[in-house]
Amino acid sequence: MLIVSDVHGRFDALGTLARSGEPLLILGDLINFVDYRTMDGIAAAVLGKDFVRQVAQFRGNGDYQASRALWREHMAGRESEIRRQIGEHVHHQYEETRRALEGGVSYVTYGNVDSPEALRSCLPHGSTFVDGEVVEIEGFRVGFVGGGAPTPLGVVGEVSEEAMADKLDRLGPVDILCSHIPPAIPVLSTDVITGRAEGSSAAILRYLMRYQPAFHYFGDTHQPQASRWRVGKTRCVNVGYFRATRRAIRHP
């Protein structure tokens, strides 16, 4: 099986993998809202790259209050129009997701930039939306828990620690755990480019310590201090920033 995360609009390469003949596991963030390397994405298309550069600066400093204030300033008096334009771009990218996955077998969960229901509804025949459930793939019991860590932005793809713990409790023991965010281990959740701790989950770490699945695959942190780690018997693997690498991890 092949595993990817953080597609962020790289649908051409995703389509190639989807039709490779192997099951494809996608661990969230299909949408490209902002590419902080190039400033491309939905936000730039609607509000311009200068706006996105300012947002990126605030994000890099962890200043969510300033980021929210900037959004309010730019949307003032045209909130409905901007939301409509963003919604159209999001819809288009989920249509691209559907086209990329047609003709293959895939299992898809969501990340912090995704709309779970929109993602679920766009998937073609052969693609399965999975969240808080276990699927048998190539003889392995694979558990999926979607969603990003909570932030002051409160976007639709974020999941509270309580909700994450509830989803994990439903899984029970598995051979492989798949999530969008890493366990709460600093080297797995700290981005070496921004120098900031990104999202992580203490509930996932507790699950790993309790059940010790053989593997835990995840994404979210694009340039982590460490891409591999061990928690007891569990091998933790960041599968990479697919938008940049266009590469999948193949499960042993």
**What is the reported pLDDT for 118?**
96
Question: Looking at the predicted structure, is the pLDDT value of residue 62 above 80?
Answer: no
Q: Is the pLDDT of residue 248 over 90?
A: yes
Residue 76 is predicted with a pLDDT of 84
Q: Between helices 79-101 and 64-75, what is the axis angle to 10°?
A: 110
Percent of the chain with pLDDT over 90: 80
Flag whether pLDDT at 194 surpasses 80. no
- Residues of 215-247 as b/e, b for ≥16 C-beta within 10 angstroms? bbbbbbbbbbbbbebebeebbbbbbbbbbeebe
Residue 6 has pLDDT above 90, yes or no: yes
pLDDT at residue 200, rounded to an integer: 97
Structural domains of the chain sorted by starting position, each given as residue range(s) with its CATH number in brackets:
2-34+101-250 (3.60.21.10)
The length of the chain, given as a count of residues:
252
Q: Is residue 221 within 8 Å of 191, Cβ to Cβ?
A: yes
Average of per-residue pLDDT values in the chain: 94
pLDDT at 100 over 80: yes
Dist. CA 242–CA 239, nearest whole Å: 8
Residues 154-182 pLDDT 10s? 889 999 999 999 999 999 999 999 999 99
